[in-house]
Amino acid sequence: MILLKLTLLSLWNRRASLLLTILAIAISITLLLSVEYIRKEAKASFLSTISGTDLVVGARSGSVQLLLYSVFRIGNATNNISWKSYQELAANPLIEWTVPLSLGDSHKGFRVLGTNQDYFRYYRFGDKHTLEFAQGQTFSGVFETVLGAEVARKLGYKLGDKIVIAHGTSKVNTALHADKPFTVIGILKPTGTPLDRTVHITLEGLEAVHLDWVAGTKINGYNLSAEAVLKKNLQPKLITAFLVGLQSRAAAFRVQREINDYKREPLLAILPGVTLADLWQALGLFETVLRMISGLVVVAGLVGMLTTVLSTLNERRREMAILRAVGAHPRHILLLFILEALVLTLVGCLIGMMFMFALVYLARPWVIAEYGFYLRTWLPDLSSLSLVAIVASLALVLSLLPGTIAYRRSLQDGLTIRT
Amino acid sequence: MFIRGSSGSGKTTLLNLLAGILTPSSGQLRVLEQDMNQLSNVARDRFRADHLGIIFQQFNLLPYLSVLDNVTLPCEFSKRRREQSGELNATATRLLEDLGLTNAMTTTSITQLSVGQQQRVAVARALMGKPELIIADEPTSALDTDTRDSFLDLLFSEAEAQGSTIIFVSHDHQLACHFSRTLDLQRVNPV
């Protein structure tokens, strides 16, 4: 079609000045797409903070609260689960594995998690990734600890270092379990989950440091040395929560009901995926704001294009008169401007998408290595294509302005060449 | 047909009327037996595309099109002229050759052509598809005397060869001798 050919050649003729316009559109599209990408990746990463775990069980409270303290290490548990109940529930034949979690202490602002070796065997995050060790291995002794990647990096710990955990979770620690230090035996690879900020110790270790404590304070004159403590019964009496893996996922609701109806003490079992989704929903406002900002940037890019096209209107009056002389209708002129805006926008979108692909392609390995976020490569999908379609229609609407001006002028000017 | 008139005498208005850009506010206008008042806007545009070749004073060509594309441009907007041209590029090349533009020139950029050469390309465009009327609005005013005379000769011989009438507007009465009919706008329409 001749109009498209004219548009393309005319644009090509003005390519130098249009390059910046296209670049502005491309950058705004890149921003729009990357906001959309980050939003999706953040959601995917958030929703897969914990995977492969069918149920999370804690003392009865809110499901979001349980998820926050057991998985995200935010806030505190209101109550504990007795070891006896835990043993009893874990014996359910539908349950394949359980991992006990005990929280409440901290190390220099990082939460301390008491657990056992099963944690490193069964915990999954992201796309069913297992926990991997950057250095060392899982703990076997009572006074050994495995650090999350960020803990080790921020505090500069290496294997063999001795750390002291503090009682409670407040950042200003006065009550230290100073007499019973833990040796760093392993450091995990980054996972992009709250695990990176966790100090893992054994349940027995946690029990040991608290043996000579009652009701949150150290008992004066009652000091057990680290060696003496090892001879005591270190079987914990309470745990904070436990993770459950089932033989078959189909049994999840059944086991959940059984635990919720457990008579001995009030417990709550949640499906982590469902609660994660609920929690994400609550953070929805943040998504909307991000989207609005990137939307506005795209509008700014398109207005930039509008300005460029409008500023060329005068110098293109001759072009319009020539076209009118060879038989073009004013509507052809209008169409010419619409096509021009569309071509500019689509080329901008295309370059923007290429930027986006390159950006993710280049940033991905670094982000995975540094932060443990398992980013997926970016490829134009249906939702990004529909975004592009929305932008293109917006460009079409905006192009009606210069188009109409040129249309009116070509009616007035006719064959007269005005400069 | 030579139409003479100094500036402000209504030359451009007359051309716009003939080309169907304007319609008379009173009276009747017939171009090639067609009552222009009766045609809609779209129809007048089509009429212009089909039956008229137009040559401006200067800057006739679209700088981003090749010489050949400039010449064949009217045929893109008029089916009639496309059908009368035969094979577009061949006809255009022949016209350009007749007008003294070599093949090498037709492939160069418009901006590298001299004004005289550009005007000859414009003539070739106006002649494409054998329109009945060729309207020329001071096409020679940017040319020097020698180029002007050879330009006119070429215009006449080519128009005659395909039977197109030339309506030539200028303020320069020296040119009148080249034409069979002359009309002085100042006499018709004393302002």
Does residue B158 lie within any of the structural domains? no
Write out the E strands in A247-393. 267-270
Does residue B110 lie within any of the structural domains? yes
Give 10-residue mean pLDDT values along chain B (191 residues): 72 77 74 75 80 78 80 79 76 77 73 79 82 81 76 81 82 75 70 51
Element (H, E) at A217: strand A217-218
Does residue B156 lie within any of the structural domains? no
Closest by Cα among A197, A180, A174, A183 to A72: A197
Tell me how close the Cα of B150 comes to any Cα of chain A, in angstroms.
24
* Interface contact B56-A329, CB threshold 8 A: no
How far apart are the C-alpha atoms of B117 and B123, rounded to whole Å? 10
Chain A residue closest to B50 (CA)? A327
pLDDT above 90 covers what percent of chain A? 17
- For an interface test with A, give the residue of B73, B137, B141 to mutate (most A CBs within 10 A): B73
Model pLDDT, residue A354:
92
Candidate from A324, A329, A416 with C-beta closest to B12: A416
Q: Which amino acid is at A24?
A: A
The average pLDDT across A396-406 equals 88
Does residue B172 lie within any of the structural domains? yes
* Interface contact B46-A9, CB threshold 8 A: no
Candidate from A9, A326, A414 with C-beta closest to B49: A326
CA quadruple A172, A177, A180, A183: dihedral sign: negative
How far apart are the C-alpha atoms of B71 and A322, rounded to whole Å? 12
Chain B residue closest to A416 (CA)? B12
Q: What is the CATH number of the domain that holds B95?
A: 3.40.50.300
How far apart are the C-alpha atoms of A356 and A379, rounded to whole Å? 9
* Interface contact B64-A324, CB threshold 8 A: no
Task: Give the domain extent around B32.
Answer: 2-150+164-187
Full-model pTM: 0.71
pLDDT tens per residue across span A187-240: 998 888 888 889 999 988 888 887 766 555 555 555 666 666 677 777 888 899
How far apart are the C-alpha atoms of B45 and A400, rounded to whole Å? 22
How far apart are the C-alpha atoms of A404 and A36, rounded to whole Å? 34
pLDDT tens per residue across span A36-70: 888 888 887 788 788 888 999 999 988 888 988 88
Tokens representing residue B138 in the block: 């001071």
CA quadruple A131, A137, A139, A140: dihedral sign: positive
Chain B residue closest to A11 (CA)? B64
* Interface contact A2-B76, CB threshold 8 A: yes
ipTM of the complex: 0.81
How far apart are the C-alpha atoms of B38 and B23, rounded to whole Å? 10
Do residues A341 and A399 lie in contact, with contact meaning Cβ atoms separated by under 8 Å?
yes
C-alpha pair distances (Å), A265 with each of A80, A335, A403, B18, B134: 10, 74, 74, 99, 102
The band of A419, judged by pLDDT with boundaries at 50, 70 and 90, is very low
Decide if B137 touches A, using CB distance below 8 A: yes
Tokens representing residue A303 in the block: 């207005």
Question: Residue A268: beta bridge partners?
Answer: A58
Decide if B17 touches A, using CB distance below 8 A: no
**Rg over CA atoms, chain B:** 16
Q: Which amino acid is at A315?
A: E
The band of A267, judged by pLDDT with boundaries at 50, 70 and 90, is very high
Number of domains in chain B: 1
Chain A residue closest to B127 (CA)? A326
- For an interface test with A, give the residue of B11, B21, B50, B133 to mutate (most A CBs within 10 A): B21
Candidate from B15, B42, B60 with C-beta closest to A322: B60
How far apart are the C-alpha atoms of A44 and A40, rounded to whole Å? 6
Tell me how close the Cα of A337 comes to any Cα of chain B, in angstroms.
16
Candidate from B16, B22, B42 with C-beta closest to A329: B42
Burial class (CB in 10 A: 0-12, 13-18, 19+), A291: middle
C-alpha A277: how far from its chain's center?
Answer: 13
Q: Which residues contact A300 (CB under 8 A, 6 or more apart)?
A: A28
Half-sphere exposure of A137 (CA within 13 A, CB side): 2
Residues in chain B within 8 Å Cβ distance of A417 = 56-57, 59
Decide if B30 touches A, using CB distance below 8 A: no
Q: Which residues contact A354 (CB under 8 A, 6 or more apart)?
A: none
Model pLDDT, residue B190:
57
* Interface contact A326-B54, CB threshold 8 A: yes
The band of A280, judged by pLDDT with boundaries at 50, 70 and 90, is confident
Number of neighbouring beta carbons within 10 Å of residue A296? 12
Chain B residue closest to A325 (CA)? B54
Per-residue DSSP letter, A378: P
How far apart are the C-alpha atoms of A362 and A359, rounded to whole Å? 5
